[in-house]
Structure 1
Amino acid sequence: MSLVITTELKIDANRFKEVEEVTREVLADNGFGILTEIDAKEVLKKKISADIRPYKILGACNPPFAHKAIILVPEIGSLLPCNVIIYENEENNIVVSAMNPKEAMSILKSNELNLIANEVNEILTDSIKEIERRFS
């Protein structure tokens, strides 16, 4: 099992903003709100004058699942929210990737939490597949 759920969209890198918009829409359709957003390209340019390809980190949260997880294992907060990243790779394709909750949360060794992680994993996997479908 991989630590990430990912798709590489073989489309023009100039469509980065469009991919970001579709990603936000698909996540919202699946119950996720975006709590945090980091434009790594902008931050690294500003802080250390480094130039990188476009790279966004979206902190996605599905409140009902987050609530259940926090009640079960308060330490889960160190793994929340689910980060979804969008970046341009060296082949000038756009990659959308999300943390695999089943893998990430397995370190806490809670059967109840694993059940929640399995559900969230299914939703994120379906979301990534839907993003891929929209650009195929």
Structure 2
Amino acid sequence: MFHYTVETSKTLDEAVEALQAELKEEKFGVLWDFNVKDTLQNKGFDFDTTYRILEVCNPGEAKSILEKNSLASYFLPCKVVVYEQEGQTKIGMPKPTALIGFLEDSELNDQAKDIEERMAACMDKVAQ
């Protein structure tokens, strides 16, 4: 599966706040918090589902990966989506290992696996 998703009983805003704190512990910062619903509504489109797409980056990891293969820039920064579906808050991400796998570089695969595990652990903590 190309993604990792967890559910939480937290509200969407609570989940985003808790996720930002957990990611910070792993030295990931949120570069951008894109509120899809608000943006679409501001552009005149009815859209009732709340989605927040977080662009997440660990600068040291990004530098290291980009120095090894500039094509990795197609996958950076990492995305984490927090959304509501059928009354449940969900937190998901495309797996870094799935994305970096397109580059067929075992060294990058190992690095992506470590990043994926750390980000998934943050998501798991928020889901509790």
Matched, 1:113 2:108: yes
Structure 2 letter corresponding to 1:113: L
What is the aligned partner in structure 2 of residue 82 from structure 1?
78
Aligned residues: 128
What is the aligned partner in structure 1 of residue 52 from structure 2?
56
Where in structure 1 do 4 or more consecutive aligned residues deviate above 6 Å?
none
Take 2:34 and 2:42, find their aligned partners in 1: how far apart are those partners?
Answer: 13
Take 2:124 and 2:13, find their aligned partners in 1: how far apart are those partners?
Answer: 18
Note the C-alpha offset of 1:48: 3.9
Matched, 1:43 2:39: yes
Aligned residues: CA RMSD: 1.2
1:67 to 59, 63, 67: 63
Take 1:28 and 1:64, find their aligned partners in 2: how far apart are those partners?
Answer: 13
- Is the Cα–Cα contact under 8 Å of residues 5 and 128 in structure 1 kept in the other structure? no
1:7-36 C-alpha deviation (Å, 9 max, x unpaired): 012x36xx2211110011111111100112
What is the aligned partner in structure 2 of residue 130 from structure 1?
125
Q: What's the secondary structure of 2:15's corresponding residue? A: helix
Q: What's the secondary structure of 1:60's corresponding residue? A: strand
Alignment map for 1:21-36 (pairs within 5 Å) = 21-36=17-32
Take 1:17 and 1:132, find their aligned partners in 2: how far apart are those partners?
Answer: 13
Q: What's the secondary structure of 1:51's corresponding residue? A: coil
Take 1:32 and 1:79, find their aligned partners in 2: how far apart are those partners?
Answer: 15
TM-score (norm 1): 0.88
Instruction: Flag structure 2 segments of 5+ consecutive residues without an equivalent.
Output: none
1:73-108 C-alpha deviation (Å, 9 max, x unpaired): 11111110110010010x210000122111111001
Instruction: Flag structure 1 segments of 5+ consecutive residues without an equivalent.
Output: none
- Is the Cα–Cα contact under 8 Å of residues 102 and 118 in structure 1 kept in the other structure? yes
TM-score (norm 2): 0.94
